[in-house]
Amino acid sequence: MNITEEIQDLKREKNAVILAHYYVNPEIQEIADYIGDSYYLSKVAVDLKEQTIVFCGVSFMGESAKILNPDKTVLMPDISADCAMAHMADAKTIQKMREEYEDLAVVCYINSTAELKRLSDVCVTSANAVKIVKALPNKNIFFIPDRNLAHFVASQVPEKHFVYNEGYCPVHEEIQEQEIRKEKELHPAAKVLTHPECPQTVRDMSDYIGSTSGIIAYAAKSDCQEFIICTENGVRFELERQNPDKRFYFTRTEPVCHDMKKITLVKIRDVLKNGGNEIQVTDELRRESVEPLERMLELAK
Ligand code: 13P
Ligand code: SF4
Q: Does residue 48 form part of some domain?
A: yes
Probe target for ligand 2 pocket from 80, 85, 110, 233, with the most ligand atoms within 8 Å of CB: 85
Residue 47 is predicted with a pLDDT of 87
Q: What digits encode the pLDDT tens for the residues 26-75?
A: 999 999 999 999 999 999 999 899 999 999 999 999 999 999 999 999 99
Residues 153 and 294 in one domain: yes
Residue 54's pLDDT is what?
A: 98
Q: Do residue 55 and residue 114 come from a single domain?
A: no
CA-23 nearest atom, ligand 2: 5
**Are residues 191 and 151 located together in one domain of the fold?**
no
Residues 102 and 153 in one domain: yes
Dihedral of the alpha carbons of 55, 233, 127, 223, in degrees to the nearest 10: -130
Q: Is residue 255 part of a domain?
A: no
Q: What is the mean pLDDT of residues 260-266?
A: 98
Domain containing 94 equals 85-169+288-299
* 89 and 162 assigned to the same domain: yes
Ligand 1 atom nearest to CA at 195 = 3
Which residue's CA lies nearest to atom 5 of ligand 2?
257
Q: pLDDT class for 190, splitting at 50, 70, 90?
A: very high
**What whole-number distance in Å separates Cα of residue 178 and Cα of residue 199?**
12
Do 152 and 294 have their domain in common?
yes
Q: How far is the CA of 83 from the centre of ligand 2 (A)?
A: 5
Are residues 52 and 73 in contact, defined by beta-carbon separation less than 8 angstroms?
Answer: yes
Q: What is the mean pLDDT of the chain?
A: 97
254 occurs within a structural domain: no
Q: Are residues 18 and 77 in the same domain?
A: yes
252: confidence class by pLDDT, cuts 50, 70, 90: confident
Are 244 and 179 within one domain? yes
Q: Is 301 exposed, middle or buried (0-12, 13-18, 19+ CB in 10 A)?
A: exposed
Per the structure, the count of domains in the chain is 3
**Is residue 126 in contact with ligand 1, taking CB distance under 6 Å?**
yes
> What b/e string do you get for 65-100 counting C-beta neighbours within 10 Å, with b at 16 or more?
bbbbbeebbbbbbbbebbbbbbbbbbeeebeebeee
Query: How far, in Å, is the centroid of ligand 1 from the Cα of 30?
Result: 19
Residues 24, 66, single domain; the answer is yes
Give one DSSP letter per residue of 243-288, joined into a string. Answer: -TTSEEE--SS----TTGGG--HHHHHHHHHH--SB----HHHHHH
Structural domain contains residue 223: yes
Q: What are the tens digits of pLDDT across the range 117-172?
A: 999 999 999 999 999 999 999 999 999 999 999 999 999 999 999 999 999 999 99
Report whether pLDDT(253) > 90: no
Q: Is the domain of 226 the same as that of 188?
A: yes
Give the full edge-to-edge strand order of the sheet including 122-124: 122-124, 104-109, 140-144, 161-164
Domain shared by 229 and 97, yes or no: no
Ligand closest to Cα of 258 equals: 2
Please tell me whether residues 293 and 151 are part of one structural domain: yes
The residue whose CA has the least distance to atom 2 of ligand 2 is: 169
The answer, yes or no, to whether residue 88 has pLDDT greater than 90, is yes
Strands of 132-235, DSSP E: 140-144, 161-164, 191-194, 208-209, 226-230
Instruction: For residue 19, name the pLDDT band (cuts at 50, 70, 90).
Output: very high
We report the CATH number of the domain holding residue 181 as: 3.40.50.10800
Q: Would residue 295 count as lying in a domain?
A: yes
The span from the CA of 170 to the CA of 279, in Å, is 25
